Amino acid sequence: MASTSSRIAFRRSPSISAYWASSCRSGMRMKASSRSLPEASSRGCPNGLGGALCWATSVVPGTTGTATVAIVTSTAMVATRAMVATNLQRRRMRSRDDMAGPHGKGRTGVVMRSYLGPRTLVCVGVRPVRSANTRKEQVMHSTARKSRPRAAVVRLLLLVVALIGSPPCAAFATQVAPGQDAWFGLSLPPGLQPHASPAIIGDRGPVPAMVPAGEEGHRELEGARIQHDLETIVGFSRASRELHEIGGGQLWGRITGFPSGAATVTWAAEQFRAAGIAEVALQSFDQAVDESFWLPLRWEVRLIANPVFGARSQDVVFETAMPLSPSEIPGGSLTAPLVFVGTASPAELVHIDVAGKVAIQHVRPQAHTVFERSPTVARAQDLMSRGAVAVLTVIDQPGNGRARDFSNCGGPCFNLGGRDGLFLERVMDAAADAGTLDQLSVRLSLETERRSGLSAVNGVAVIRGSDSQEAIVLNAHADGWFDAAGDNADGLSVLLALARHFAKPENRPERTLVFVASAGHHSPGMNGPRSFVAMNPELVASSVLVFNIEHVAQRNLSRARSLFDDGYREYIADSGEAPIVAGITNRSPFLEDLIRRGVERYGINFVSGASTMASGEGGGYRSLGVPIVTAMQAPPLYHTSGEVLETISTPGLERMARFLAFFVREVDAAPLREIDP
């Protein structure tokens, strides 16, 4: 709720660091204060509030009005709002900036201050109402100032805030005078929420893991133990963001070719050694000489304000915007009008001229974005060939996050999160109704670099079997975009649990087991499996099977009955894990039967049909000519910033670890003719 007659700012006190934020979705500019910065918060006072006190002071011209107070917790982004009708004659304050009006006197206002608990932010907005009798009201102000202490206002505000709950600060958009609404009165999008779940994670946890008789003693396979490793692995990603490993920190992860990727694999190798495995190696390799790694360093997608969209409209920066490889913008930025193309099908485009415009296409993934990759990229390329200067792809996914997919679109391309996209599409609808759509434009800016000459590392552990003539390879990649809890921190943590299990003397296998903490496959020219195969000819020559563990314990999400305050559909986790595809490249009946038994014995949520899929890491092992078995989910958070710890099922980690231990034991004891008939 920004205007020339109403200001809001957080007061600053000694030893308090101030940070500018736009935390109320009404668009108000605020200064947030923090005494301690223990961790980064997703919204609210930037960089976290910890136990700090955060307060607001609003100085508003006029003598009567409606005050709006909202308290927003920065971790859960849950807010309560209280509408308090208050007589502004109770307070008068002269500020250094505003004590003199145009003629040097007579500007009155209200002071509202609230001292709050840990990690909270106060957003205060006021709609001033002019009085017809200024002189009389000034006298009343003077009397009220003497008789009514400030504490009364504080108590009143805190009491009402404590009693009344409603959606966050976006409601401020309805408090302005008719015809003055910013952006047609639409609620502004919430911004990016790093490290926060984009879905509802309720109190009903996942179904507990099934532990068959005789397996109770395998404590190393328990979910809580594996969860500890999962948290450590995700911690490498969070450090990447905090340290701005890539550019300004808008992109983060466990990135092969950079310190975060190497640190993750090095730590995994240390876990192999700690488990008692004697043969552990870190195997370094260089990026292919003909490859380069495109990286976005800094970027912005800014919707340009215009009074025709509402007098109080201000530019909106879409924080979930994600540039896609290999986008480049000559000169670093461009400004162009917008055109909505729906799904960009030929039937739609026959009616639409995209030349010289930024095209907005809409994608509703049926599961993860891989399933939409081919048609989405092809349609973006078609839009560019028709003269579009850029493409923005709105992706209907849980919450409002960044998604790194749909690359190679033929020009500058960005993805937008669901709630950012909803706001943009509604603005376009409202502008079309108002006859002002031709005045709507967007500014794109992008700074990139290409890196070559990088290096990466695989972590390899070998447990020699009593018959070391044959080997089983177990692989999980360590790299991932953003927090990457499900791609593939869950798979890597399960791999470590299996290494601890089979490192015990009582669990020693007959065939040799090879554990590969792979550098992964996300960084061009640095493929972990292919490098492992090239660097270990004797081991791979003796292999009889490869099992790739990739995306295995994410909770299942579905659309909820509830909506966000802007009308976007929420998602909610249920009591199980997302469906898991079991790909078996040779369709071995013996291996297929192990999958069926895994469902019965451990409750694994495998899909009901067979598959020969070997996606992800599997492709790097195809040259071996042995069966490749892949366990892989296809959840909606794939390659998004919403893939956080809370979306992983702890019992699901245990389910998968126990099943894989069973699977390896059965394969270890089976004759080769059954494994690969």
Dist CA 669 CA 175 (whole Å): 72
Amino acid 159: pLDDT: 41
Domain ranges of the chain: 7-177, 219-292+453-553+579-634+648-670, 294-449
Question: pLDDT, tens digit, for every residue of 564-607?
Answer: 999 999 999 999 999 999 999 999 999 999 999 999 999 999 99
Q: Taking residues 308-326, what's their average pLDDT?
A: 98
* Distance from C-alpha of 406 to C-alpha of 339, rounded to nearest angstrom: 20
| Interatomic CA distance for residues 313 and 669, integer angstroms | 69
Instruction: Say what the pLDDT of residue 368 is.
Output: 67
Query: Averaged over 116-125, what is the pLDDT?
Result: 34
Tell me: the pLDDT tens digits for 631-671? 999 989 999 999 999 999 999 999 999 999 999 999 999 99
Quote the CA–CA distance of 226 and 218 in Å, as a whole number. Answer: 12
- Cβ(552)–Cβ(657) below 8 Å: no
What ranges make up the beta strands (E) of 289-436?
293-303, 316-317, 322-323, 333-342, 358-363, 390-395, 413-416
CB < 8 Å & 24+ apart, contacts of 28-35:
28/1, 28/2, 28/123, 28/125, 28/169, 28/172, 29/2, 30/56, 30/123, 32/121
Question: 41 is written with which tokens?
Answer: 């918060």
Is residue 508's pLDDT more than 90? yes
Percent over 70 (pLDDT), the chain = 73
Query: Taking residues 517-525, what's their average pLDDT?
Result: 98
* Residue 520 scores a pLDDT above 60: yes
Residue 513 pLDDT > 60, yes or no? yes
- The whole-number pLDDT of residue 180 equals 59
The model carries a pTM of 0.75
Instruction: Give the largest Cα separation in the chain, rounded.
Output: 99
pLDDT of residue 162: 43
Give the count of beta carbons closer than 10 Å to the beta carbon of residue 96.
6
Which residue in this structure is represented by tokens 């530019």? 315
pLDDT digits (tens, 9 = 90+) for 54-100: 323 333 333 333 333 333 333 333 333 333 333 333 333 333 333 33
Q: What pLDDT digit, counting tens, does each position of 429-444 carry?
A: 999 999 999 999 999 9
Greater confidence (224 vs 38) lies with 224
Taking only the tens place, the pLDDT of each residue in 22-59 is: 333 333 333 333 333 333 333 333 333 333 323 233 33
Q: Which CATH code of 3.20.20.450, 3.40.50.300, 3.40.50.1860, 3.40.630.10 fits the domain covering 219-292+453-553+579-634+648-670?
A: 3.40.630.10
Peptide bond into 102 cis (omega under 30): no
What is the chain's Cα-based Rg?
Answer: 29
Q: Mean pLDDT across the stretch 110-114? A: 31
Q: Kindly report, residue by residue over 331-390, the tens digit of the pLDDT.
A: 999 999 999 999 999 999 999 999 999 999 999 987 667 788 889 999 999 999 999 999
pLDDT at 468: 77
Q: What pLDDT does 107 receive?
A: 32
- Dist. CA 380–CA 390, nearest whole Å: 9
Q: What CATH number does the domain located at 294-449 have?
A: 3.50.30.30
Nearest alpha-carbon partner for 271 in 501, 532, 456, 487? 501
Distance (Å, rounded) from C-alpha 543 to C-alpha 276?
A: 23
Q: Packing angle between helix 223-242 and helix 490-503, nearest 10 degrees?
A: 130
For residue range 139-191, what is the model confidence (pLDDT) as tens digits?
334 444 444 444 444 444 444 344 334 343 333 333 333 345 899 999 999 99
